[in-house]
Amino acid sequence: MATLITGASLGLGKAMAWECARRGMDLLLASLPGEGLADTAREIEQTCRVRVLTREIDLTENGAPARLAAWALENAQIDVLINNAGFGGSRAIGDATPEYLERMIRLNVVVVSLLTHALLPELKTHPSARVLNVASLAACGPLPFKTVYPASKAFVLHWSRGLRAELRKTNVRVGVLLPGPIRTNPDVRSRLDKQGWIGRRTTVSIEAAARIAVRGLLKGRAVIVPGAAAKLNRLLMTVIPTPVLLFFTGRVFSREANQ
């Protein structure tokens, strides 16, 4: 049995790979080329004594999800899938290029759907199987100067909940992760700093987020929200009237987009 993790060379994906390996789970890791995935795999193998295979691939290319699924099925029996690959950012819609928007939609929406679809027959063959789709707290409401990102993550949230219900009579449990801000890389840290005290006070460590995510995945939880601040923010985003939320978040994210 093995766990397939996308976006596994950096940030939360890398942290979840380590967390899974510490629990004795063999790994298949996928990431973009040139992100040091082989070095990560070698270190995990040496430290945790698990089997780790890697595949460098741009999942936004046509047919890439199917190629990754075929590679994974040729090399292991997949009983856990973690759809972590995705990206976002803060840009006024007029400043975003069509390529930027299309890549975000393909990675955050299309790839998650197609890869899960391709691996679902395999997952159903195991006594117990898990799928974890990484969304975001941004999925809980519209956000100015992000626009496409929260919409794409809202898809991941609702699709995951619907798929879980559809598969309730099977052995496959689908969960969705709603992380708040995590200081995963220099670009994200810079954007969080531009948000001021909100960006500083609402973050959770990447190690804690990975630990909570994997624990929730293995327990078969439907929705996983790592950290007290994230839980509070999720509540606020559901109870604050939308016009008020848009005014407040617009001021916050305009600074991030314009600096």
Distance CA 142, CA 215 (A): 29
- b (16+ CB within 10 A) / e for 151-177: bbbbbbbebbbebbeebeeeebbbbbb
Closest CA to 78 of 6, 157, 143: 6
Distance CA 130, CA 79 (A): 6
Considering Cα of 194, then 184, then 130, then 74, what sign does the dihedral take? positive
Tokens 């995705």 found at: 86
100 is known as an active-site residue: no
Annotated catalytic residue within 149, 155, 159, 253: 149
Distance CA 19, CA 79 (A): 16
Q: Which residues are catalytic?
A: 149
